[in-house]
A and B are shown apart, each in its own frame.
Chain A
Amino acid sequence: MKFIKARLDYLFSSTKGLVLVAIAMIAITSAIWGMLSGPLAEMGIREVVIKALGMDMVPAEREGRIIILYHAIAMAVVAIETYLINGLLKINPLYKTVINGLITVGYLATMVFGLGFAYFGHNWAFHGLYIAGLTLIFAAGVLLVIALWPWNKEVRQPNKEYARTKSGLDLERVAFFATAVTTVISALFGAIPGSFFGNGFEVFLAENIIRFPEKTTMEYSIIGHLHIMLALIAVMITLIIGRWLNFKGTLHKIAMPLMILGTIILNLGVWGVVTPLEPIAHMVIYVGATPSMLAALLLLIWSWRMLIQSGTQNIVQPTILQKLKALVEDPLKFGPTWQMLFMNFSTSGLGIFMAVKLDEIFRVWPAREERIELTGHWHALSLVIATIILMYYGDISGLKGKVRQLFGWAIIFFSDLALAGITFFEMKRLFVEEAQQQPLVNGLMLAVDTGLAFLLILLATLMVWRLIDLFRKKGRWFEEKGQELDREVLS
């Protein structure tokens, strides 16, 4: 009993334990549900999984299932980010305990009962618990906003190396606060139409109505919700990585106001889609995205310079090669910002390219093809966010030496292979006639599937290692129980 209690205590009351549980839940979900589509479905594995697990998948209800699946995974990611914020920033201990408790129960209920309802027969009690889970997460979000309140005297920033006002207001904390507030408000943009459509058992995927010139306010709200929530998860992980790496100095002082401004304008643009301002909402979104992305770029510049400087501090006049070596010496510290840069190729760059080629692409290609670009680019962004979290987790798990190198580079290589493959897949019509595409599709899908498969194997290996560790009397888990992230911020 004591054995179990000690492990549960670690898993559910320490930051690192909570993050581990959430990653494990996402890993299990990805492993099982990943077999229901794509190449594994083509191979017939889908049918085997459905039969083996006793799933009940009515074809007409696919849209509803997909929405619940997205939420199940997304809520676990939101929980991870919340744990990381609570571990990295100065948060009132009572708030920290309550927020972590609420969000843990919330995401587990969302995941277990949501997927139970969607894929294993429609037990409406499960649906109620799924909604209850989402509500708990919302409540945790509100509390996090309160806990992050940046105008408290106790959280003033005394160090002039960081972005702050003259009175000592910590602008990094304001950026966290702004992101948290807007996340909570943006959640309502999904919750309200969710209730509206759910009441009539109506469900739709935004990508399927994108071409209709007239959309209802509720439909606009859903489209805005899904875009902004993913964007905010990305903004939050950027802030988290900045805190972990101890982002500071002049670039920090420029980046934080940009991040605050960008987040607020971005949200105003997205919220504007449900108002008469809809026709100019996209322009506002572009205006908001620019300072946010610029802030991320400043983090990248700062962190790469920091990695180069710390890696060459014992060399009097380092050569370019020595600087490059220093930059990539630790893949877990280099990787997160590299992924942010790579994202510009797989997500932002693609979006801009498509927008420039609007007359050749969106107004000509069939809607199903446009859907591939739409779903492809937010899956790509989700993958980028997941890999950044994994790299941070690899660091806080204490990976060292060759294992650290292997883990970090494998994540970078295989995820970028998959992302590059999917990016070219999305644009394949620009290079090859439709009737001639199959060999290209086969090659690209092999690259994508190889990348994703190795990532999942890597994740499974990490999880098995951590599982075995739990059986050790004084394994890593024992050490991690008393550790907190704010004490592991780079000096």
Chain B
Amino acid sequence: MKWFWFRLLFPLFLLSACTPVDLDAALPSFETNIDPNTWAQVPAGDFYFGQYNTVENTPAFEIMITDVTTRQYADFLNAALRSNSIKLNEDEITGYYPGDSFSGKKHEERIDAGEWLYIPLNDPAQHILFDGTFFSPKQGYEDHPMTLVTWFGARGYCEYYGFRLPTEKEWEKAARGTDTRAFPWGDEILRSNANFYASRDPFEDMKTFGSRTTPVGFFNGTTYPNGYVTLDSRSPYGLFDMAGNVWQWTANVYEGMHYRFLRGGSKDTYEMDLRIFVRNNATPTYYSPGVGFRCVK
């Protein structure tokens, strides 16, 4: 009899794994009072870089205190389309990239000069809507990080405004300051510090759609009206979300590799990937609901 129930329930359980995810599931709304148009000053000087804390140096630069939001990216697309800086090709937005030098190293792929994908418009997880003439952010996601954006799309945004993507060194210095901390706020991580996999923030439901992005600057020490408590998780220079929420594209193009590096961990990774020195990488045409960016100048 026990085996009967097992045989009956086990396939049913497996079938339940095929349930489609509701990508339009209701999204909670919270006011973070963080302005994504704010920039932080990072002074010139030495800092500890990487897992082994080697001393490195950067000149002074400014960096956005949050990831680029969906609203900001929609504004960029509208402006860039008007100025013919981007192209609309059926279900995707593309833009020009001058190409990488190719050294023919193992697994290296050519990135030639030409039109490259910025964002797909037909992906059901895309938070940018296009009505044929105008781009707009999906309702509720206006202040969430821009996702499903390729490295070319991230670079294109920054360059359009005269900014650029941060180098890995700049990114790490902005996240870490001048000490050897593992996370932007210190050496330990709690669930109320950042958005990571199964961090139990109000935007996730691991039983159905899983982890979702949080609005930029969500983990700022505020206790939200629903009682959800966040810790002030700014980096020493006042940057938000330098750990978790979305991986962030960085600028470096290394000889012999077509891969571009991502930093910071995301809503889809465990705490270990949120450590400042952790590096991820992907082909520059990769896009994901867990990948975004911010700019420096």
Supposing A58-B187, A59-B183, A214-B256 touch, asked if A438 and B210 sit within 8 A by C-beta, the answer is: yes
- Interface status of B26 (Cβ within 8 A of chain A): no
A366:B288 contact, CB within 8 angstroms: yes
Question: Of A134-142, A171-179, A198-206, which binds chain B?
Answer: A198-206
Select which of A208, A365, A434 is within 8 A of B290 by beta carbon. Answer: A434
Q: How far, in angstroms, from A60 to B48 measured CA to CA in the complex?
A: 13
B271:A443 contact, CB within 8 angstroms: no
**Chain A residue at minimum C-beta to C-beta distance from B287:** A434
B16:A200 contact, CB within 8 angstroms: no
Supposing A211-B257, A442-B17 touch, asked if A434 and B282 sit within 8 A by C-beta, the answer is: no
B282:A365 contact, CB within 8 angstroms: yes
With a cutoff of 8 Å between Cβ atoms, the chain B residues found around residue A474 in the complex are none
Question: Of B35-43, B69-77, B161-169, B201-209, which binds chain A?
Answer: B201-209
Supposing A60-B182, A202-B52 touch, asked if A366 and B282 sit within 8 A by C-beta, the answer is: yes
B273:A368 contact, CB within 8 angstroms: yes
B269:A440 contact, CB within 8 angstroms: no
User: Nearest Cβ distance between residue B279 and chain A, in whole angstroms?
Assistant: 8
- Interface status of B13 (Cβ within 8 A of chain A): yes
Question: Of B103-111, B135-143, B225-233, which binds chain A?
Answer: B103-111
A362:B107 contact, CB within 8 angstroms: yes
- Interface status of B29 (Cβ within 8 A of chain A): no
Select which of A37, A435, A447 is within 8 A of B23 by beta carbon. Answer: A435
**Chain B residue at minimum C-beta to C-beta distance from A39:** B198
Interface residues as binary, A198-242 with B (CB distance below 8 Å gives 1, 0 otherwise): 001110100010011110000000000000000000000000000
Select which of A211, A365, A433, A441 is within 8 A of B107 by beta carbon. Answer: A211
With a cutoff of 8 Å between Cβ atoms, the chain A residues found around residue B280 in the complex are 366-368
Q: How far, in angstroms, from A405 to B237 measured CA to CA in the complex?
A: 63
- Interface status of B125 (Cβ within 8 A of chain A): yes
**Chain A residue at minimum C-beta to C-beta distance from B23:** A435
A204:B51 contact, CB within 8 angstroms: yes
Overall SS of chain A's interface: helix
With a cutoff of 8 Å between Cβ atoms, the chain A residues found around residue B8 in the complex are none
- Interface status of B262 (Cβ within 8 A of chain A): yes
- Interface status of A364 (Cβ within 8 A of chain B): yes
- Interface status of B97 (Cβ within 8 A of chain A): no
With a cutoff of 8 Å between Cβ atoms, the chain A residues found around residue B105 in the complex are 213-214
A211:B281 contact, CB within 8 angstroms: yes
Q: Which of B1-42 contact A (CB under 8 A)?
A: 13-14, 16-21, 23
B259:A211 contact, CB within 8 angstroms: yes
Q: How far, in angstroms, from A294 to B138 measured CA to CA in the complex?
A: 56
- Interface status of A436 (Cβ within 8 A of chain B): yes
B107:A363 contact, CB within 8 angstroms: yes
A435:B256 contact, CB within 8 angstroms: no
Supposing A62-B272, A434-B290 touch, asked if A440 and B262 sit within 8 A by C-beta, the answer is: no
- Interface status of B283 (Cβ within 8 A of chain A): yes
Q: How far, in angstroms, from A37 to B197 measured CA to CA in the complex?
A: 12
Supposing A60-B187, A213-B106, A213-B257 touch, asked if A366 and B262 sit within 8 A by C-beta, the answer is: yes
B198:A437 contact, CB within 8 angstroms: no
- Interface status of A444 (Cβ within 8 A of chain B): yes
Supposing A213-B257, A363-B283, A366-B288 touch, asked if A439 and B107 sit within 8 A by C-beta, the answer is: no
Interface residues as binary, A356-384 with B (CB distance below 8 Å gives 1, 0 otherwise): 00000011111110000000000000000
Q: How far, in angstroms, from A12 to B119 measured CA to CA in the complex?
A: 64
- Interface status of B188 (Cβ within 8 A of chain A): yes
Interface residues as binary, A426-454 with B (CB distance below 8 Å gives 1, 0 otherwise): 00000001111111111110110000000
With a cutoff of 8 Å between Cβ atoms, the chain A residues found around residue B271 in the complex are 59
Overall SS of chain B's interface: loop
- Interface status of B132 (Cβ within 8 A of chain A): no
Counting contact residues on chain A (CB < 8 A from B), the size range is 35 or more
- Interface status of A42 (Cβ within 8 A of chain B): yes
With a cutoff of 8 Å between Cβ atoms, the chain A residues found around residue B180 in the complex are 60
- Interface status of B121 (Cβ within 8 A of chain A): no
With a cutoff of 8 Å between Cβ atoms, the chain B residues found around residue A433 in the complex are 123-125
Interface residues as binary, A39-66 with B (CB distance below 8 Å gives 1, 0 otherwise): 0011000000000000000111011000
A201:B52 contact, CB within 8 angstroms: yes
Q: How far, in angstroms, from A63 to B279 measured CA to CA in the complex?
A: 14
- Interface status of B189 (Cβ within 8 A of chain A): yes
B124:A443 contact, CB within 8 angstroms: no
- Interface status of B286 (Cβ within 8 A of chain A): yes
With a cutoff of 8 Å between Cβ atoms, the chain A residues found around residue B257 in the complex are 211-213
Q: Which of B253-297 contact A (CB under 8 A)?
A: 256-259, 262, 269-273, 275, 277, 279-283, 285-286, 288-290
User: Nearest Cβ distance between residue B17 and chain A, in whole angstroms?
Assistant: 3
**Chain A residue at minimum C-beta to C-beta distance from B208:** A438
Listed residue (A435, A439, A447) with the most chain B CB atoms within 10 angstroms of its CB: A435
Q: How far, in angstroms, from A442 to B109 measured CA to CA in the complex?
A: 35
Q: Which of B169-212 contact A (CB under 8 A)?
A: 180, 182-183, 187-189, 197-198, 206-211
Q: How far, in angstroms, from A425 to B125 measured CA to CA in the complex?
A: 21
A213:B273 contact, CB within 8 angstroms: no
**Chain A residue at minimum C-beta to C-beta distance from B109:** A363
With a cutoff of 8 Å between Cβ atoms, the chain A residues found around residue B14 in the complex are 443, 447
With a cutoff of 8 Å between Cβ atoms, the chain B residues found around residue A442 in the complex are 17, 206-207
A443:B281 contact, CB within 8 angstroms: no
Q: How far, in angstroms, from A362 to B279 measured CA to CA in the complex?
A: 16
Q: How far, in angstroms, from A213 to B281 measured CA to CA in the complex?
A: 13
With a cutoff of 8 Å between Cβ atoms, the chain A residues found around residue B109 in the complex are 363
Listed residue (A200, A201, A437) with the most chain B CB atoms within 10 angstroms of its CB: A437
**Chain A residue at minimum C-beta to C-beta distance from B190:** A47
With a cutoff of 8 Å between Cβ atoms, the chain A residues found around residue B210 in the complex are 437-438, 441
With a cutoff of 8 Å between Cβ atoms, the chain B residues found around residue A447 in the complex are 14
Q: How far, in angstroms, from A436 to B125 measured CA to CA in the complex?
A: 9
B269:A59 contact, CB within 8 angstroms: no
**Chain A residue at minimum C-beta to C-beta distance from B283:** A364
Q: How far, in angstroms, from A212 to B259 measured CA to CA in the complex?
A: 9
B52:A435 contact, CB within 8 angstroms: no
| Other A-B pairs, 13, CB within 8 Å; known A59-B187, A59-B189, A59-B275 | A58-B187, A60-B51, A62-B272, A62-B275, A63-B51, A201-B52, A366-B262, A366-B288, A434-B290, A438-B208, A439-B17, A440-B17, A447-B14
The 10 A-B pairs with the shortest beta carbon distances in the complex, nearest first, are A443-B17, A438-B210, A435-B125, A366-B282, A42-B198, A213-B105, A213-B256, A60-B182, A436-B21, A439-B19
27 contacts between A and B (CB under 8 A): A58-B187, A59-B183, A59-B275, A62-B275, A200-B52, A202-B51, A211-B259, A211-B281, A213-B105, A213-B257, A363-B258, A364-B285, A366-B262, A366-B280, A366-B282, A367-B280, A368-B280, A434-B289, A435-B124, A436-B23, A437-B21, A438-B206, A438-B210, A439-B21, A441-B210, A442-B17, A443-B18
